[in-house]
Amino acid sequence: MELIQYPQERYDPLLAGRIVELEQTAWPEDGEAEAFPSAPDTYVTSFLWLEGAMPVCHVGVRSSILHHKGQTYAAYGLSEVVTHPAFRGRGLASEGIRRAAQFIMERRADVSIFTCAPERVPFYTRGGWRAVKGACLVGGTLRRPFRSDSLHLVTMMMFLSPKGRLHQADFEHTDIVLELGENQLW
Ligand SMILES: CC(C)(COP(=O)(O)OP(=O)(O)OC[C@H]1O[C@@H](n2cnc3c(N)ncnc32)[C@H](O)[C@@H]1OP(=O)(O)O)[C@@H](O)C(=O)NCCC(=O)NCCS
């Protein structure tokens, strides 16, 4: 089994189709025609565990510009973190998010931000993120906002640059609006 960075280390259109199939093991309702990456505008890269030619664990990295309380931040998020059911509980996703965190730290990121289910908070906390009290990430568009609290998700963040660290308190007990496009939320 090997952990690669996609598409940098192995671009292969077939592999993209197999990532879609892997994601459907967790989110079958997303429909069979879904392309990969699903939102190319914000997609940066993926960390992918391969068993032979088959992807069995995927961690997507995304980036966007975040305007919040008078400041502009380079923001990186995780998305589509999934391990095939037959390969769970072996540490694959833990290593995938560790590599993603390392990748993000090597960029000029001010903050990392995304949401997760409450039961996943310990998993991402071990990866270096922390749950931000009362923070609601609002994705989607201004006309059709997609609120993370509507799904009872927790906002996880890492404060990376001096600017990010200085303004940490600005992210607590507030909405954080990140226009990501229709139906998009990290
Ligand atoms: C969440 C998910 C990606 C985790 O993938 P995974 O590869 O099983 O993750 P890991 O094996 O690294 O960690 C899972 C658990 O196994 C434990 N674990 C890690 N290595 C282990 C090992 N060698 N032996 C036993 N347990 C281990 C971890 O501590 C972790 O415990 P936790 O659930 O209490 O945090 C996977 O369950 C999944 O695809 N779920 C459906 C999609 C989803 O919910 N994605 C997350 C969206 S926020």
Angle at 115 between CA 135 and CA 90, to 5 degrees: 140
Handedness of CA 52, 106, 42, 94 (dihedral sign): positive
Give the pLDDT of the chain (186 residues) as one tens digit per residue: 999 999 999 888 899 999 999 999 999 876 656 788 988 999 999 999 999 999 999 999 999 999 999 999 999 999 999 999 999 999 999 999 999 999 999 999 999 999 999 999 999 999 999 999 999 999 999 999 999 999 999 999 999 999 999 999 999 999 999 999 998 999
Other C-beta atoms closer than 10 Å to the C-beta of 24 total 15
| Ligand 1 pocket, CB under 6 A | 26, 57, 81-83, 88-94, 116-117, 120, 122-123
One-letter amino acid for residue 99 of the chain: R
Task: Choose among 148, 171, 140, 126: nearest CA to 64.
Answer: 140
In angstroms, rounded to a whole number, what is the distance separating the alpha carbons of residues 20 and 8? 18
In angstroms, rounded to a whole number, what is the distance separating the alpha carbons of residues 29 and 178? 24
User: Residue 66 corresponds to which tokens in the numbers above?
Assistant: 């975040």
How far from chain centre, in Å, is Cα 123?
A: 13
Peptide bond into 118 cis (omega under 30): no
In angstroms, rounded to a whole number, what is the distance separating the alpha carbons of residues 148 and 69? 19
Which residue ranges form the domains of the chain, and what is each CATH number? 2-177 (3.40.630.30)
Which residue's C-alpha comes closest to atom 3 of ligand 1?
Answer: 82
State residue 29's pLDDT score: 74
94 CA: nearest ligand 1 atom:
12
Q: Which residues, including other chains, have CB under 8 Å from residue 38's CB and lie 6 or more apart?
A: 80
27 CA: nearest ligand 1 atom:
42
In angstroms, rounded to a whole number, what is the distance separating the alpha carbons of residues 162 and 35? 37
